[in-house]
Amino acid sequence: MYKVDLNSDLGESFGAYTIGLDNEVIAHVSSVNVACGYHAGDPLVMEKTVAAAKAAGVAVGAHPGFPDLMGFGRRNMVVSPKEVKAYVKYQLGALMAFAAAEGIRLQHCKPHGALYNMAGKDMDLALAIAEAIAEVDKNIILPFLKKSAICRLLGLANSKMIDAGKQLGLRVANEVFADRAYQADGSLVPRKLPGAVIHDKDEAIARTVRMVTEGKVTAITGEEVEIAAHSICVHGDNPSAVEFVKNIRTQLTARGVEITPIREIV
């Protein structure tokens, strides 16, 4: 039987601003990526999101990004690997505090937006992220655990992040996107280009099922790309998000695919 995780980026509200359909989406996924206050989210939102995930029985991961609230972390920044490493450590530590307060452990760490895309192609940045995760896991022991936390690196399938995670001995999970177009090298089509986001839900679901069951996706230029799918990202910040994730889950289950958190797969 095939197994796959359904993840969604949540906790992206900030202060008086509400972003996303967190309460509705969380009921249909198996893992959530919680914004850590740099690109989105704030302490109260982080606390609320972690508590909601625990109540729903959903696994929690950190979603660190660039310090860019105004640009929602989607603007490339000129930063050194040393800076990126510190950014990730800082955000991991913040979310770990809220997880500890709820008596749960972080399952994974998935970089956000521009950081995610840049590290997917830049080995130095990818290693900085992997090193941050490895060092935090090694040096921090949560008192309510019998052993130190095991945090997985969730990165774009076929990217430098996966290579970096393996190089440092981390557990890595290949992520695929239900509603994003791919380039021939396995990277995502930049959002600024036409066709980057797939709006036809039937097409998106069919592509997702194929990635999980066949390990292939058709690039925007027509090439067949080999791809491993441990986790599927479904975005929760548009009005059709709930229906979309419900449909994906239904279609995968109907084909014998078990929906389960990443920790049950890698």
DSSP 3-state of 224 = strand
Supply the pLDDT for residue 85: 98
pLDDT at 72 over 70: yes
d(CA 200, CA 179): 8
**DSSP assignment string, 172-216:** EEEEEETTB-B-TTSPBPPTTSTTSB---HHHHHHHHHHHHHHSE
Strand spans (E) along 13-120 = 31-35, 59-63, 108-109
pLDDT tens figures, 74-98: 999 999 999 999 999 999 999 999 9
Average of per-residue pLDDT values in the chain: 89
Q: State the average pLDDT over residues 127-153.
A: 63
Total count of residues recorded for the chain = 266
Task: Assign 119 a pLDDT band (cuts: 50, 70, 90).
Answer: very high
Q: Which residues pair with 87 in a beta bridge?
A: none
pLDDT tens figures, 183-219: 998 888 988 899 998 888 889 889 999 999 999 999 9
Of 55, 135, 69, the closest CA to residue 96 belongs to: 135
What pTM was estimated for this model as a whole?
0.91
Task: Assign 143 a pLDDT band (cuts: 50, 70, 90).
Answer: very low
Contacts of 196 (CB under 8 A, 6+ apart): 180, 181, 188, 189, 190
Ramachandran sector of residue 254 (left: φ over 0; alpha: ψ -120 to 50; beta: rest): alpha
pLDDT at 99 over 60: yes
d(CA 35, CA 3): 26
